[in-house]
């Protein structure tokens, strides 16, 4: 996925994990656009999914990472946007296959389901994997 800006968004359940990912990404020299929230006060994940989708659509970020309690809700909200292909991942293998086979541009994570170290591994693998194209291109084209 290259070295473009990574947009981060979460809900209140994911704010702590989002913050840890932000620090890890910045430590590796990645540019990050943190779309919030910035504290654990209750918020609605669709609002933050929409903000991330808007950042991608406007070209303010090349890809994104979204976090909620399970990763399910925020991934559903993100995938309502035609230009977003959000993949809920839970380990390094799923985080590699999502961009490689499905050209996913957003990694979704469940803060209540995976630990910080697994999330960091998922982020690093996701962001360092390119779309394979080939036979996968035809399938991804059908998603549009």
CATH code at 81?
A: 3.40.1400.10
Cβ–Cβ under 8 Å, residues 52 and 18:
no
Query: How many Cβ atoms are within 10 Å of 55's Cβ, its own excluded?
Result: 19
pLDDT of residue 1: 66
Domain count for the chain: 1
SS3 category, 24: helix
Catalytic status, residue 136 = no
Catalytic residue among 63, 68, 89, 122: 68
pLDDT of residue 2: 63
pLDDT of residue 115: 96
pLDDT of residue 144: 80
Domain that holds residue 87: 6-143
**Is 71 part of any domain?**
yes
Task: List the chain residues with pLDDT less than 50.
Answer: none
**Is 57 part of any domain?**
yes
Number of H helices, E strands in the chain: 6, 5
**Is 97 part of any domain?**
yes
**Is 116 part of any domain?**
yes
Q: What is this structure's pTM?
A: 0.96
Catalytic status, residue 101 = yes
DSSP E strand stretches across 44-117 = 63-68, 86-88, 106-110
SS3 category, 59: coil
**Is 13 part of any domain?**
yes
Residues 6+ apart with CB under 8 A from 130: 1, 99, 100
**Is 1 part of any domain?**
no
């Amino acid at each position: 996925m290259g070295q473009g800006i990574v947009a981060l968004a979460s809900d209140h359940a994911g704010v702590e994990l989002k913050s840890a990912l932000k620090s890890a990404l910045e430590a590796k020299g990645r540019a990050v656009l943190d779309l919030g929230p910035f504290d654990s006060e209750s918020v609605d994940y669709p609002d933050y999914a929409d903000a991330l989708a808007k950042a991608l659509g406007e070209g303010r970020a090349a890809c994104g990472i979204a976090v909620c309690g399970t990763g399910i809700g925020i991934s559903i909200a993100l995938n309502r946007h035609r230009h977003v292909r959000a993949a809920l991942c839970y380990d390094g293998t799923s985080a590699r296959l999502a961009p490689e086979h499905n050209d996913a541009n957003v990694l979704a994570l469940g803060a209540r389901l995976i630990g910080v170290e697994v999330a960091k591994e998922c982020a690093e693998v996701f962001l360092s994997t390119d779309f394979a194209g080939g036979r996968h291109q035809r399938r991804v084209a059908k998603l549009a």
